């Protein structure tokens, strides 16, 4: 019985490590941002001298955006921006798999607004 307790603790610790790793991916996936996202983020991007919006997306088992949270630039809250929120919610992804079956997941994504920013600064 005593030998089982350390093994159980090791299993529980391993499970916690996997959950933490899934919640904080090292590198965000990068793609071109929908124009409405860049438009809503433009002032904040300029203020922070940035060209990307980073979001944490919660995806359902069909790859649809269920919810999201703006990670950067700091102070930007796209969750409250009507057009940007609608464009983000329209995004589709390959469903995550767990044990070979579609599953809910959280991903980190970087949306590139450099083209929109360059176009808006032209005379």
Does residue 58 sit within a domain?
yes
Does residue 78 sit within a domain?
yes
Does residue 14 sit within a domain?
no
Query: Number of helices (H) and strands (E), helices first, in the chain?
Result: 4, 6
74: burial class by Cβ within 10 Å (0-12, 13-18, 19+)? exposed
Q: What is the pLDDT of residues 74-123, one digit of tens each?
A: 999 999 999 999 999 999 999 999 999 999 999 999 999 998 877 776 66
Q: What is the pLDDT of residues 2-25, one digit of tens each?
A: 454 544 333 433 333 333 334 444
Q: What's the angle, vertex CA 72, arms to CA 69 and CA 73, rounded to 5?
A: 135
Does residue 112 sit within a domain?
yes
Contact, 106 vs 60, CB < 8 A? no
Regarding beta strands 29-32 and 105-112, do their DSSP bridges make them parallel or antiparallel, or are they unpaired?
parallel
- pTM score > 0.85 for this model? no
In 3-state terms the chain splits into helix, strand, coil percentages (rounded to 5) of: 45, 30, 30
Does residue 54 sit within a domain?
yes
Residue 22 C-alpha from the chain's centroid: 12
Does residue 67 sit within a domain?
yes
Does residue 1 sit within a domain?
no
Does residue 2 sit within a domain?
no
Which domain covers residue 78, as residue numbers?
Answer: 26-121
What CATH number has the domain bearing residue 36?
Answer: 3.30.2420
**How many independent structural domains does the chain possess?**
1
């Amino acid at each position: 019985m005593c030998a089982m307790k350390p093994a159980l603790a090791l299993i529980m610790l391993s499970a916690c490590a996997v959950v933490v790793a899934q919640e904080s991916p090292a590198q965000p996936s990068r793609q071109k941002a929908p124009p409405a996202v860049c438009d809503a983020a433009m002032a904040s991007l300029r203020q922070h001298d940035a060209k990307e919006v980073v979001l944490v997306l919660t995806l359902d088992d069909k790859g649809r955006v269920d919810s999201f949270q703006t990670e950067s630039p700091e102070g930007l809250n796209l969750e409250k921006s009507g057009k940007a929120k609608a464009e983000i919610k329209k995004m589709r992804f390959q469903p995550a798999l767990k044990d070979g079956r579609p599953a809910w997941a959280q991903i980190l994504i970087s949306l590139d607004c450099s083209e929109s920013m360059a176009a808006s600064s032209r005379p």
